[in-house]
Amino acid sequence: MTAAAIAFGVAAMAAVAATPPVRALARRIGAYDHALCSRKVHGRPVPRLGGAGMVGAFLAAVGAAAVADRTVLLSLSAEPAVAAGLLAGALVIAALGIYDDLRGADAKLKFTVQFAVAGAMYALGFRIEQVAHPFGAPLELGLLGLPVTMLWIAGVVNAMNLVDGLDGLAAGIALVAAFALAAVSALTGDVLVLVVAVALAGAALGFLFFNFDRASIFMGDTGSMFLGFVLATAAIRPDPAAPGTVALVVPVLALGVPLADTLLAMGRRALRGVPMFRADRGHIHHRLLDLGLTQRQTVLVLYGVSALLAAAGVVLAFASAARAVVVLLAIGALGVVALRRLGFFQFAKTRRVLQARRRNLEMQGHVRRASQALREADTLEEVWFALRFAAWGLGAAAVALRLPLPRALAAPSFTHGFEERRKLLVARFGLDPERPGDAHLELGFDDGRLEIDRDTEIAVEILCASTSDALARVGRPTRAGLRLVDGMRQSGTHRSAGL
């Protein structure tokens, strides 16, 4: 327990010390979350990369505990492959998160790395081969052990990433889950998991000083994926006393909020016909905000739910079968009631959902065809033709492609429909989310809508990404065109051209 206290204290203090320099670095290199869509509620650019400070604090805490307490050092030395594998895997996942925060990583790259690391963890002994439960003998998985292990690790990693939607939410839930793992490991005498769990909890708590409402820095994918990986892997670490047996009830309940949110998101996106890996605005925390709660109230409510679930998980780990059944039935019933109150499982809205699905599939089809045309485009004019086709499919009555100088001066004016005098709802979408003031797409709607719904935003985001790639490939101004642009700028001709 002395080592646990040292690990927790060092992690918390190290996170507090490391976060301000990381925040300053993020500002200097322009690593911001710009809040350019309706699903993001912070409403202002906020630096990210805060997870890098948590990673450093976590490693410092584990090292300090090993130096200060011989028991920890012996535990690490007794299982060097297990300890080194967990730390190495965490660093690889954190590196993936840093790359995503700085450059952007698509779903294919993320899942490739996550499954590769999960497979390596399985080879090192982090396996789910049997699942212990309170209703009898452990469930043997056999050949399913490898895919279940990989899905567990990747699932928790992405669940923590999905729940990171409000100030302090992901860090607080990780803090609660880490304490639950620490409690169980303390009762079972697992020194390694105890130190890892309290070090993670301390790093999350230290980061919360800067991330709680109103946050001055976000953890980014660096932090959310790192937290998810350590929690998922520590929960299934090899147990010499019972090889291959994992009591998943504790981590599943401790991470009940992000896991439930992930499963609901997958089902919702499948039903509505939107891409699975495009974030929407239907998460649990969004539903609480829609009920009128503030960001802080929403986060505190979800902290409380996570704490109750984590406590239930710890109790169930040592409960009899009869008591476990009662507790699980109560949790399930309360969960269904709460989710229905938040608007989930509303079967009366099935017709509306199916209508939305039909509309979304039509929009996605137009965008796919436009994206194919953009990939084949050789000129700016062909890019513009594809955009006009896509705008029609999105229900827009007007469209404009705004290019930054000097390209805008060297290219034709790309605008349609804005010349007519009529009332339009005009929405602006940056082609590069990391450069909101650069090239952008404008769409005008005259169908009476008062706002752009998230499903339309998703379709436009896909279109903008394809347009950005096309513009990077075609339409580069010639030297003669650039000389003409310079002459126009010096003479002021561009002002008369309305630019």
pLDDT in tens, 94-107: 999 999 998 888 88
Mean confidence (pLDDT) of the chain: 84
Residues 325-372 pLDDT 10s: 888 889 999 999 999 888 888 777 788 888 888 988 999 899 999 999
Neighbours of 264 (CB within 10 A): 19
Helix (H) or strand (E) holding 89: helix 80-102
The amino acid that residue 39 corresponds to is R
- Which of 2-11, 113-122, 127-136, 146-155 has the least mean pLDDT? 127-136
What secondary structure does DSSP assign to 126-186, as a single string? ---SEE--TTSSPEE-GGGHHHHHHHHHHHHHHHHHHH--STTHHHHHHHHHHHHHHHHHH
**Comparison of pLDDT for 138 and 167, the residue scoring more:** 167
Q: Which pair of tokens denotes residue 300? A: 């505190």
pLDDT grade for 133, boundaries at 50, 70 and 90: low
Residue 20 preceded by cis peptide, ω within 30:
no
* Predicted confidence (pLDDT) per residue in 411-425, tens digit: 566 888 887 767 888
pLDDT at 421: 60
Q: Is the pLDDT of residue 185 over 80?
A: yes
pLDDT surpasses 70 at 137: yes
Q: Domains in the chain, please, with CATH?
A: 2-345 (no CATH), 351-494 (3.30.450)
pLDDT: which is higher, 207 or 39: 207
Question: What is the percentage of the chain residues whose pLDDT exceeds 90?
Answer: 39
The owner of tokens 């690889």 is 92
User: Is pLDDT at 433 greater than 70 in this prediction?
Assistant: no
Q: Which tokens belong to 251?
A: 């981590």
pLDDT at 135: 66
Q: What letter would DSSP give residue 245?
A: E
If pLDDT is split at 50, 70 and 90, which confidence band does 24 have? very high
**What's the gap between Cα 253 and its chain centre?**
20
State residue 165's pLDDT score: 85
How does pLDDT run across 384-412, given as a tens digit for each residue? Answer: 889 999 998 998 989 998 887 555 545 56
The pTM of the whole model exceeds 0.95: no
Would you place residue 484 in the very low, low, confident or very high pLDDT band (cuts 50, 70, 90)?
very low
Tell me the residue type at 193.
V
Query: Two tokens at 27?
Result: 């500002």
Check whether 442 has a pLDDT greater than 70.
Answer: yes
Reference 72, options 156, 10, 157, 119; nearest CA is: 10
Task: Say what the pLDDT of residue 316 is.
Answer: 83
DSSP 282: -
pLDDT band at 31 (very low <50, low <70, confident <90, very high): confident
Is the predicted pLDDT of residue 186 greater than 90, yes or no? no
130-134, 168-172, 364-368: least confident range: 130-134
* Dihedral angle, C-alpha 434, 440, 444, 448, nearest 10 °: 0
Report pLDDT digits (tens) over 58-74. Answer: 999 999 988 888 888 88
Of the candidates 230, 256, 233, 248, the one whose C-alpha atom is nearest the C-alpha of residue 130 is 248
Quick check: 38 pLDDT over 70?
no
Tokens read off for 353: 């959902």
Residues 6+ apart with CB under 8 A from 443: 391, 394, 396, 398, 399, 426, 427, 429, 460
Predicted local confidence at residue 440, as pLDDT: 84
> Alpha-carbon torsion 280, 286, 292, 293, what sign?
negative
Q: What percent of the chain has pLDDT over 70?
A: 87
Q: What is the pLDDT of residue 483?
A: 45
Tokens of residue 199, six digits: 């070090």
Nearest in space to 130 (alpha carbons), one of 139, 118, 122: 139
Closest C-alpha among 161, 198, 192, 206 to residue 180 = 198
Q: How many residues does the chain have?
A: 499
Lowest mean pLDDT among 91-95, 276-280, 372-376, 430-434: 430-434
> Do residues 394 and 456 touch, judged by C-beta distance below 8 A?
yes
Q: What is the pLDDT of residue 334?
A: 92
pLDDT at 478 over 50: no
**Pair 175, 15: CB distance under 8 Å:** no
* Winning range, highest mean pLDDT, from 203-217, 234-248, 344-358, 472-486: 203-217
Q: How confident is the model at residue 381 (pLDDT cuts 50, 70, 90)?
A: confident
pLDDT at 263: 92
Q: Categorize the per-residue pLDDT at 128 as very low, low, confident or very high, splitting at 50, 70 and 90.
A: confident
